């Protein structure tokens, strides 16, 4: 079983079809066609049968009367003039897309631009277009673009031949963009050609072989062949069903078929019919129709593959039906203007298939209709409406209706409305009515959380505020008459929550701004009082991890945690009480940022000062050994009060190390022997009761020792046993005790601490 995929836009384009219609309905006989209307033998034969003769430009000198048909390719102004001079009726079938190119070239030529046409220099359309420019160059390849010299002082306008390969044109344009300084670009490849080429590309990607139906003399047909060959290595240009017989398709499973813009529909049908007789082929089924119409051909190919079990052999009517999108009343279609006159605008569009559409003047705009407001190529969306204007050749469209519905949809989409719930749909959601609309709330859009299926019934009869959800189906192809809306209550709740959050945020910001202003005003009013070292009264307002906020003259100041107490690691609440007034000293003023820092501790006694009062020299204290180092031991008297017992003051005996007699945690009794520079030194041995006679002996010994040394030496030097090494100083500096203790020790050590001299 082979699968056959037919391109949707295969066959005659609207421009060629229009030219044929005009030629066949010409009233002034004989009818002469200025060149072949379509590059297809079958079409030419049909025209001949109808009495139309093909003439060339040189023949114009010999003819008089009758009518002359200008084909879709258009002609130059010079040729127009000549046609008028022979007195024949001129039937101008120039395609509107080509006319637009002529208009562009005429306009820019008038402004002094030089013209670049990207196209085939021998193609009749290009020859005609050239006639509208005084200065023109035709580029047909990247090579020719590279070989052409452009004057950098000139301004250029670039247009494309309407049927040129889009891909090739883009390559040339990209090169020229980088080469020419003053370049205006109008990409004028026609809509039909672009569609056809894009389809050919997709088709050739999806198929094992592609048949392109058309004549080798048709420029757009040969371009389709070239495009297909880029993706597929079995591409055949065939004229008719006979040519297919010569092709071996036995190894091929999926066959793509497309056709040039000059190929008539009957010819395509003949080829398809012949193939279905020769090969057992599967054609796209009607079930695939919508998907095909809205998806690229490659996607359509996948659809066909998946639906193989339901595939069937189809009649030619089926084939025709499967190759066009069903036009339904109320359907939205995107269209492009191909012509406009006093009665309205004629349009083409992907969804309209081979037929064109017509929008009557009164269904275009509420304002005054002017044909010139709708130039060729203008795109808009309209709605398919019943054909009441009698012209059955066109699909009747209504732009105003689309605009109205769009406006209504937008209004619904933007607004929140109340919905009474009429019904719960099991495992689905809730249903209600809004005017003529049926409103559905999916279960996931009822609350902020997902509502359990068994709870859905409890919503029936309730009124919910809901918001319309965007239409997932998109605009194109969707019916405006569907009268169904998918809405969400959850979105309303989210919006309410967001609004409340934003309101609170806004209020907070405003409050903050107000407070900031007030703060600045208070600061400015007290500027003279906010001086460093000023002692000020402050009421504690609140605590933070990093300190306390204190109101001074109504201005919020910060007392950092480190400025609250001399003891490290103390929490603000251990020092101050909220609501109480204290004295602080100002330590920093940042007038630019309105910040004042305070210190509380600077006005408080330091721990050693307290200790000095509490434990004067000579006091016997009891403490605990906290740390032992080579040169002594640190004794904790009470929290925050520590002292050092030097190794020489631990015992009467000479010790190698304090650890010989002490260990951490030992309770010891010691005597306060000095507060040199506010540092406490202790002596354990002096706290012990001397043995009888020992005091006198010791006193005598001391006197002897002192007398034996010069006065200067006694005052300025330490005894050998008290010498503090550099290493010991470092230990003290690194010792993790309170600041006061560390200061005590350092002071004693560095100042040449001599316990015996101090006594
Ligand atoms: S410009 Fe496009 S629509 Fe017009 S005749 Fe050429 S191919 Fe057809």
Q: Are 657 and 647 in contact (CB under 8 A)?
A: yes
Q: Residue 253: pLDDT band by 50, 70, 90 thresholds?
A: confident
Tokens, residue 722 = 């008290």
Cβ proximity of 158 and 183 under 8 Å: yes
Backbone φ, ψ for residue 432 (5° rounding): -155, 180
Q: What separation in Å is there between the alpha carbon of 94 and the centre of ligand 1? A: 9
Whole-number CA gyration radius for the chain: 50
Strand partners, 538: 582
In the reported structure, the alpha carbon of residue 145 is separated from the centroid of ligand 1 by a whole-number distance in angstroms of: 25
**Residue 560: which pLDDT band, with cuts at 50, 70 and 90?**
very high
What percent of the chain is predicted at pLDDT more than 90? 43
Average pLDDT over residues 553-571: 91
The more confidently predicted of residues 105 and 702 is 105
What pLDDT does 406 receive? Answer: 74
Position 248 scores a pLDDT of 85
**Ligand 1 binding pocket mutation candidate from 9, 12, 13, 14 (most atoms within 8 A of CB):** 13
In angstroms, the CA 644 to CA 682 distance is 6
From atom 5 of ligand 1, which residue's Cα is the shortest distance away?
15
Residue 302 has pLDDT above 70, yes or no: no
Atom number of ligand 1 nearest to Cα 16 = 5
Residue to mutate (ligand 1; options 9, 14, 337, 376; most atoms within 8 A of CB): 14
Phi, psi for residue 288 in degrees, rounded to 5 = -85, -5
What's residue 306's pLDDT? 29
Q: What is the pLDDT of residue 526?
A: 92
The arithmetic mean of pLDDT across residues 690-705, rounded, is: 45
449/437 Cα distance (integer angstroms): 26
- The pLDDT confidence band at residue 160, using thresholds 50, 70 and 90, is very high
The answer to whether 646 and 681 are in contact (CB under 8 A) is yes
Rounded distance between C-alpha atoms, residue 259 and residue 222, angstroms: 10
Q: What is the pLDDT of residues 595-633, one digit of tens each?
A: 999 999 999 988 778 888 889 999 999 999 999 998 899
Q: Which residues pair with 97 in a beta bridge?
A: none
Nearest to 207 by CA among 252, 275, 254: 254
At 193, is the secondary structure helix, strand, or coil?
helix
Residue 593: count of CB within 10 angstroms of its CB: 5
Secondary element (H or E) of residue 752 = none
Residue 423 pLDDT level (bands cut at 50, 70, 90)? very high
Calculate mean pLDDT across residues 109-122. 95
User: Is the previous residue joined to 154 through a cis bond, with omega within 30 degrees of 0?
Assistant: no
353 phi, psi to nearest 5 deg: 65, -135
Q: Is 348 helix (H, G, I), strand (E, B) or coil?
A: strand
Mean pLDDT of 350-370: 83
Q: Helix, strand or coil for residue 319?
A: helix
89-92 sheet: strands from edge to edge: 52-55, 31-34, 67-70, 89-92
ipTM entry = 0.97
The backbone torsions φ and ψ at residue 581, rounded to the nearest 5 degrees and listed phi first, read -100, 140
Atom 8 of ligand 1: nearest residue by CA position: 15
**What's the pLDDT at 412?**
67
Atom of ligand 1 nearest to the CA of 125: 6
Q: What is the pLDDT of residue 472?
A: 54
The mean pLDDT value for 120-126 works out to 94
Task: Check residues 714 and 505 and name the one with the higher pLDDT.
Answer: 505
Active-site residue, 125 included = yes
Mutate to test the pocket of ligand 1, among 36, 39, 40, 163 (most ligand atoms within 8 A of CB): 163
Give the pLDDT of residue 251.
82
**Rounded average pLDDT over 91-103:** 92
pLDDT at 29 over 90: no
Q: What is the pLDDT of residue 350?
A: 63
Using one digit for the tens of pLDDT, what is the confidence trace for 184-230?
999 899 888 888 888 888 888 878 899 999 988 888 899 899 999 98
Q: Which of 18, 75, 192, 335 to mutate to test the pocket of ligand 1 (most atoms within 8 A of CB)?
A: 192
Is 730 buried (19+), middle (13-18) or exposed (0-12) by CB count in 10 A? Answer: exposed
Cα separation, 387 vs 76, in Å, equals 38
pLDDT at 425: 87
Q: How far apart are the first and last CA of the chain?
A: 119
pLDDT confidence tier of residue 157, bands split at 50, 70 and 90: very high
Three-class DSSP category at 632: strand
pLDDT of residue 337: 84
Those residues whose C-beta lies under 8 Å from the C-beta of residue 204, and which sit 6 or more positions away, are: 210, 227, 228, 229, 230, 231, 232, 235, 256
What structural domains does the chain harbor? 14-94 (3.40.50.11270), 97-189 (3.40.1010.20), 332-405 (2.40.50.140), 526-603 (2.40.50.140), 607-758 (2.40.50.140)
Give the lowest-confidence range in 77-81, 277-281, 561-565: 277-281
- pLDDT value at residue 320: 38
Rounded distance from Cα 337 to ligand 1 centre (Å): 13
Q: What is the pLDDT of residue 471?
A: 65
DSSP states along 198-253: HHHHHHHHH-SEEEEES-TT-HHHHHHHHHHHHH-S-EEEESSHHHHHTS--TT-S
> Which atom of ligand 1 has the smallest separation from the CA of 163?
7
Instruction: Give the pLDDT of residue 39.
Output: 83
Residues in the ligand 1 pocket, defined by CB under 6 Å: 13-16, 72, 95, 97-98, 162-163, 190, 192-193, 220, 261
Q: Is 678 left (phi over 0), alpha (psi -120 to 50) or beta?
A: left
Most confident option among 37-51, 298-312, 510-524, 636-650: 510-524
Query: Could you identify the atom of ligand 1 that is nearest to the CA of residue 72?
Result: 5
Residue 153 phi, psi (nearest 5): -90, -15
Identify the residue with better confidence: 344 or 719: 344
Residue 349 pLDDT greater than 80, yes or no = no
Query: How far, in Å, from the CA of 270 to the mean position of ligand 1?
Result: 24
CA of 96 to the centre of ligand 1 (A): 8
Per-residue pLDDT, 131: 96
Higher per-residue confidence, 48 vs 316: 48
Report the chain's mean pLDDT, rounded to a whole number: 80
Whether the predicted pLDDT of 757 surpasses 80: no
Looking from the CA of residue 162, the nearest atom of ligand 1 is: 1
**Pair 70, 48: CB distance under 8 Å:** no
Dist. CA 500–CA 486, nearest whole Å: 25
Residues in the chain, total: 759
Least confident of 302-306, 326-330, 563-567, 727-731: 302-306
Per-residue model confidence as pLDDT tens digits over 451-494: 998 899 999 999 999 988 876 544 444 444 456 788 999 999 99
User: What sign has the CA pseudo-torsion 384, 386, 388, 393?
Assistant: positive
Task: Exactly one of 17, 57, 125, 418 is catalytic; name it.
Answer: 125
Which position has the higher pLDDT, 151 or 740? Answer: 151
What's the gap in Å between 193 CA and the centre of ligand 1?
7
**Is 137 a residue whose pLDDT tops 70?**
yes
pLDDT higher than 70, residue 293:
no
Tell me how far the alpha carbon of residue 521 lies from the centroid of ligand 1, in angstroms.
Answer: 76
Token pair of 574 as six digits: 């251990």
Helix axes of 297-306 and 191-206: crossing angle, nearest 10 degrees: 40
Across 259-263, average pLDDT: 90
pLDDT reading at 707 higher than 70: no
Residue 44's CB is within 10 A of a number of other CB atoms, namely 18
Does 150 have pLDDT greater than 90?
Answer: yes
- The answer to whether 258 and 206 have CB atoms below 8 angstroms apart is no
Cβ atoms 68, 34 nearer than 8 A: yes
Q: How far apart are CA 46 and CA 745, in angstroms?
A: 120
Reported confidence tier of residue 298, pLDDT bands at 50, 70, 90: very low
- Integer Cα distance of 563 and 560 in angstroms: 5
Residue 735: the pLDDT is: 37
Q: Which residue has the higher pLDDT, 166 or 508?
A: 508
**Which pLDDT score, from 0 to 100, does residue 694 have?**
47
Nearest to 473 by CA among 307, 288, 293, 335: 293
pLDDT of residue 736: 34
Do 133 and 113 touch, CB atoms closer than 8 A?
A: no
């Amino acid at each position: 079983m082979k699968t056959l995929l037919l391109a949707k836009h295969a066959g005659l384009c609207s421009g060629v079809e229009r030219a044929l219609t005009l030629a066949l309905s010409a009233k002034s006989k004989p009818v002469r066609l200025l060149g072949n209307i379509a590059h297809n033998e079958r079409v030419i034969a049909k025209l001949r049968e109808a009495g139309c003769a093909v003439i060339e430009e040189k023949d114009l000198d010999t003819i008089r009367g009758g009518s002359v048909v200008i084909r879709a390719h258009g002609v130059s102004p010079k040729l127009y003039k000549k046609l008028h001079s022979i007195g024949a009726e001129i039937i101008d079938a120039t395609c509107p897309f080509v006319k637009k190119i002529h208009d562009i070239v005429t306009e820019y030529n008038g402004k002094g631009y030089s013209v670049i046409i990207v196209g085939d220099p021998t193609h009749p359309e290009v020859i005609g277009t050239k006639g509208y420019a005084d200065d023109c160059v035709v580029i047909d390849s990247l090579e020719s673009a590279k070989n052409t010299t452009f004057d950098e002082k000139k301004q250029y306008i670039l247009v494309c031949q309407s049927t040129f390969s889009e891909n090739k044109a883009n390559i040339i344009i990209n090169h020229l963009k980088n080469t020419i300084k003053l370049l205006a670009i109008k990409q004028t490849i026609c809509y039909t050609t672009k569609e056809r080429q894009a389809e050919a590309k997709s088709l050739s990607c999806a198929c094992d072989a592609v048949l392109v139906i058309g004549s080798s003399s048709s420029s757009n047909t040969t371009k389709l062949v070239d495009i297909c060959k880029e993706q597929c290595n079995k591409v055949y240009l065939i004229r008719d069903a006979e040519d297919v017989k010569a092709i071996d398709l036995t190894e091929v499973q999926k066959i793509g078929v497309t056709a040039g813009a000059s190929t008539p529909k009957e010819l395509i049908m003949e080829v398809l019919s012949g193939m279905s007789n020769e090969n057992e082929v599967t054609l796209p089924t009607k079930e695939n129709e919508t998907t095909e119409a809205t998806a690229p051909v490659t996607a359509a190919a996948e659809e066909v593959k998946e639906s193989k079990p339901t595939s069937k052999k189809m009649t030619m009517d089926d084939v025709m039906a499967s190759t066009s999108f069903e036009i339904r009343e109320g359907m939205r279609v995107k269209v492009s203007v191909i012509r406009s006159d006093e009665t309205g605008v004629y349009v083409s569009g992907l969804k309209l298939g081979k037929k064109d559409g017509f929008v009557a003047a009164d269904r275009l705009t509420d304002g005054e209709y002017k044909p010139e407001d709708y130039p060729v190529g203008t795109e808009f969306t309209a709605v398919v409406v019943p054909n009441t204007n009698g012209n059955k050749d066109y699909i009747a469209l209504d732009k105003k209706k689309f605009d109205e519905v769009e406006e209504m949809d937008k209004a619904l989409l933007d607004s929140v409305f109340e919905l009474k719930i009429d019904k719960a749909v099991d495992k689905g959601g809730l249903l209600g009515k809004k005017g003529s609309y049926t409103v559905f709330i999916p279960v996931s859009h009822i609350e902020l959380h997902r509502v359990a299926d068994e709870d859905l019934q409890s919503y029936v009869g309730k009124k919910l505020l809901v918001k319309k959800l965007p239409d997932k189906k998109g605009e194109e192809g969707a019916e405006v008459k569907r009268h169904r809306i998918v809405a969400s209550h959850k979105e309303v709740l989210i919006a309410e929550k967001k609004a409340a959050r934003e309101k609170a945020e806004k209020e907070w910001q405003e409050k903050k701004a107000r407070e900031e202003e007030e703060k600045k005003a208070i600061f400015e009013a007290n500027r003279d009082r906010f001086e460093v070292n000023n002692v000020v009264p402050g009421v504690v307002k609140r605590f933070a991890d990093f300190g306390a906020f204190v109101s001074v003259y109504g201005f919020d100041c910060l007392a950092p945690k480190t400025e609250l107490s001399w003891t490290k690691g103390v929490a603000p609440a251990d020092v101050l009480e909220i609501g109480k007034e204290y004295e602080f000293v100002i330590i920093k003023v940042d007038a630019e940022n309105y910040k004042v820092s305070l210190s509380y501790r600077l006005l408080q006694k330091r721990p050693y000062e307290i200790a000095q009062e509490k434990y004067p020299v000579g006091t016997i204290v009891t403490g605990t050994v906290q740390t032992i180092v080579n040169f002594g031991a640190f004794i904790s008297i009470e929290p925050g009060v520590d002292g050092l017992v030097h190794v020489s003051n631990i015992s009467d005996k000479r010790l190698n190390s304090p650890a010989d007699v002490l260990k951490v945690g030992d309770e010891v009794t010691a005597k306060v022997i000095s507060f040199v520079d506010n540092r406490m030194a202790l002596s354990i041995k002096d706290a012990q009761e001397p043995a009888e006679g020992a005091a006198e002996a010791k006193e005598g010994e001391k006197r002897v020792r002192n007398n034996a040394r010069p006065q200067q030496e006694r005052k300025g030097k330490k005894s050998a046993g008290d010498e503090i090494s550099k290493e010991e100083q470092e230990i003290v500096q690194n010792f993790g005790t309170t600041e006061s203790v560390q200061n005590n020790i350092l002071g004693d050590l560095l100042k040449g601490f001599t316990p015996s001299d101090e006594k």
